[in-house]
Amino acid sequence: MKNYRNFLFLFLPALLLISGNVFAQIPSGYYDSASGLTGSSLKAALHDIIDGHTTYPYTSSLTDTWDILKEADRDPNDATKVIGLYSGFSMDAAAEYNSGDGWSREHVWAKSRGDFGTSQGAGTDCHHLRAEDVSTNSARNNRNFDNATTQYCDASGTYSGCTDSKTSSSEWVWEPRDEVKGDVARMIFYMVVRYEGDGSEPDLELVDYLLTNTDNSPYHGMASTLVEWHENDPVSSAETTRNDVIYSYQGNRNPFIDHPEYVCEIFSSYCSGSGTGGTNDDLFFSEYIEGSSYNKALEIANETGSSVSLSSYSLKKQTNGAGSWADEYALSGTLADGEVFVIAHSSADASITAVADVTTTSGIVTYNGNDPIGLFKNDTLIDIIGTFDGGSSNFAQNVTKVRISSISGPNSTYTTTEWTNYSEDTFDYIGVREGVYSGGSGTSSGGALIISEYIEGSSNNKALEIANVTGASINMSGYSLKKETNGSGTWADEYALSGTLADGEVFVIANSSASSSITSVADVTTTSGIVTFNGNDAVGLFRNDTLMDMLGTFNSSTNYAQNVTKVRNANISTPNSTYTTSEWTNYSSDTFGYLGSHTSSSKTSVGIAEEIAAKTVVLFPNPVDQTLNWNGGTMESLEIYDQLGKKVLQAKNVSSSVDLTELSSGIYFVKTTIDGNVSMQKIVKK
């Protein structure tokens, strides 16, 4: 059988010349059951269509994935070779691995993301397996797909040289060459729809943040970048032919190759507006409360950039995850940009009804944890909590769910990673959008501060830095710091914070006897016990006496942070009540250079206020080599930070450009002030 397949592989080009296209045609009626559907309904229908495909072994003396890829990825100019997906290298098809000097099989959806390995199913699905040079395959590893800055050059093996793909030394990302960016995106979309957790299969989902290399969760990033690649790199004839070849073996097709429009009908929240689902110009759910008794409330947010009439919007419920949409509640009035609309049960707790725009006994607010709730615009579903026809299982019972701050538009497919869960009857966040601009010039107590730096140095060199990366000014009167001495006992040495912390700013509290390098940037110096910690004292940031963020592990006497400076990574923008070492970068004892400023990656939360202001300032060119220019006149202040938040350049009263020659290559964040308007933007230095 192996020899027969190799013969067919050599014979196929001639056969294609004779027949024009052996497969070419989408089978009649293949997508009929998906006709007219959008969002989660379309995703479910496509899953049913492509599920249960014929699987082949990873390696076998019979037909295996090597054989299939020899046909699917063959070099159109030489039938004895295959083309590497990222490298573009033309490689001897007969050299299967060849002790690391041949070619290998790249899992485009990295097999560690879901930990499915090379077992039959996701591990051998040729819709996302591609031929690639061994060392290029290894270099890609399980990196997130996102835009990168450093050209990848392969320096080992038979096939080597600089490729058109890119990587990064500072972020765990991989950018394929331009010719295949859309191909990669559509393979990832296929995997999300094909693998929904049936039986022993993984439940794969897209996320719009960067995952670490040790994260084995069944997620892959970056969703927004992949959708952009899909839109900019349309389906090619080579991609269609490959889809036909895989179909001839597996009996299933990649629907996003046959119907590219399905992408924005399913992943609508990441699209530029070409899809039929929601876009970032639409309203979306920002909070859901399913508490005790009548404590039920829904919050809808407007982050579109302008006021929105609610007359086109309505809410509907599917009772117990079965039947049709019902209990429709039509919205009315106007929702200003940056504001939220709250609808609550009339008999809910006073903490809820006090901030509600509407209280009612309508069926729309008598849901339980197994009732999907939909936000509709002109009777089209744009956002959903729960899965339509998901059955009676309780997906959200006795819980408060808050949409994470990086989500700024609707998603007609319920995605659990877009939400943060809080315990039953948590009402602290209702009435203000967590982590984003709340409108006007006032402050908000709804944002979530984080601990951004910790210094435990020699002698009295002790300091804590707290950052506001929520997008709004924060009233700190509800916040306090506490310490657990030597990792045992109760929280103690409480230090209550006060005042207002502006968005993008930090608050530093230090020991009065610390080095002048620390005290010179401190907002408060004190001899309080909160800044007499040692490396085994857990430190907590509390809001309204609830632990929000933490360094160390409660009731553990381990020296987790002795003689060290710890800086929160730039991609962390929300607090974590479980100490997670991967969120921090460690520096040697008495490192003070990062204290007094902190920058959050634009992939997480820059804040709507900054985004609005950013529209008035255009930085160019980007990427930049030597001189960075801008429009908008004289800049009162320009500050540039590296990815760890260290200020590397500052200039005042500069007219139109700044010289960046002395900066090393990499990603930086530029904070600008023009006519009092502050913005934060990311640039790439070549």
- Domain co-membership, 9 together with 142: yes
H or E stretch at 566: strand 564-568
Of the pLDDT bands very low, low, confident and very high (cuts 50, 70, 90), residue 509 is very high
Highest mean pLDDT pick, 4-8, 171-175, 589-593, 601-605: 171-175
**3-state secondary structure (DSSP) of residue 44:** helix
- Residue at 438 is within a domain: no
User: With b meaning 16 or more CB within 10 Å and e meaning fewer, what string describes 405-437?
Assistant: bbbbbbbbbbbeebbbebeebbbbbbbbbbbbb
> Is pLDDT at 607 greater than 90 in this prediction?
no
Helices 39-50, 181-194: crossing angle, 10 deg rounding: 90
CA 148 to chain CA centroid, Å, is: 16
* Total tally of structural domains belonging to the chain: 4
- Residue at 596 is within a domain: no
Average pLDDT for residues 371-375, to the nearest whole number?
Answer: 94
Please state, for a pLDDT cut of 90, what percent of the chain lies above it: 47
Count of beta carbons in the 10 Å neighbourhood of residue 600: 28
Closest to 527 (Cα-Cα) out of 460, 451, 476, 479? 460
pLDDT given for residue 483 in this prediction:
94
- Residue at 216 is within a domain: yes
- Residue at 402 is within a domain: yes
- Residue at 11 is within a domain: yes
Please state, for a pLDDT cut of 70, what percent of the chain lies above it: 87
- Domain co-membership, 246 together with 162: yes
Closest to 88 (Cα-Cα) out of 186, 189, 178? 178
> Is pLDDT at 183 greater than 90 in this prediction?
yes
DSSP per-residue string spanning 52-119: SPPP--SS-SSS-HHHHHHHHTEETTEEEEEE-TTT--EEETT-BSTTTTSEEEEESS-TTTTT-TTS
- Residue at 341 is within a domain: yes
| β-pair type (627-630, 657-659) | antiparallel
- Residue at 308 is within a domain: yes
Q: Which of 108-112, 239-243, 265-269, 329-333 has the lowest mean pLDDT?
A: 265-269
pLDDT given for residue 3 in this prediction:
37
Q: Which residues lie below 8 Å from residue 391, measured CB to CB, with a gap of 6+?
A: 321, 322, 370
Q: Which residues lie below 8 Å from residue 474, measured CB to CB, with a gap of 6+?
A: 443, 444, 445, 447, 449, 468, 500, 501, 503
CB 91 within 8 A of CB 112: no
The CATH number of whichever domain residue 342 belongs to comes to: 2.60.40.1260
DSSP 8-state code for residue 292: S
Last residue of one domain, picked from the residues 255, 274, 302: 255
- Domain co-membership, 545 together with 630: no
- Domain co-membership, 246 together with 158: yes
- Residue at 230 is within a domain: yes
CB 521 within 8 A of CB 486: no
Of the pLDDT bands very low, low, confident and very high (cuts 50, 70, 90), residue 609 is very low
Of the pLDDT bands very low, low, confident and very high (cuts 50, 70, 90), residue 272 is low
Query: What's phi and psi for 121, nearest 5 deg?
Result: 125, -125
Peptide bond into 187 cis (omega under 30): no
- Amino acid identity at 12: L
- Domain co-membership, 384 together with 492: no
The CATH number of whichever domain residue 650 belongs to comes to: 2.60.40.1930
- Domain co-membership, 117 together with 162: yes
Of the pLDDT bands very low, low, confident and very high (cuts 50, 70, 90), residue 468 is confident
Surface-to-core class of residue 513, CB atoms within 10 Å of its CB (0-12 exposed, 13-18 middle, 19+ buried): middle
- Domain co-membership, 13 together with 150: yes
DSSP per-residue string spanning 580-613: -GGGEEEEETT--TTTT-----TTT---HHHHHH
> Is pLDDT at 19 greater than 80 in this prediction?
no
- Domain co-membership, 13 together with 160: yes
pTM confidence score: 0.45
- Domain co-membership, 558 together with 499: yes
C-alpha dist (Å) from residue 446 to 422, 431, 470, 503 = 14, 8, 9, 13
How far apart are alpha carbons 318 and 325 in whole angstroms?
Answer: 5
Q: Which residues lie below 8 Å from residue 681, measured CB to CB, with a gap of 6+?
A: 602, 614, 617, 619, 669, 670, 672
Last residue of one domain, picked from the residues 543, 571, 588: 588
Range of the structural domain that residue 191 is part of: 2-255
* pLDDT greater at residue 82 or residue 322: 82
- Domain co-membership, 18 together with 124: yes
- Domain co-membership, 468 together with 380: no
pLDDT given for residue 188 in this prediction:
98
Average pLDDT for residues 78-100, to the nearest whole number?
Answer: 93
- Domain co-membership, 392 together with 515: no
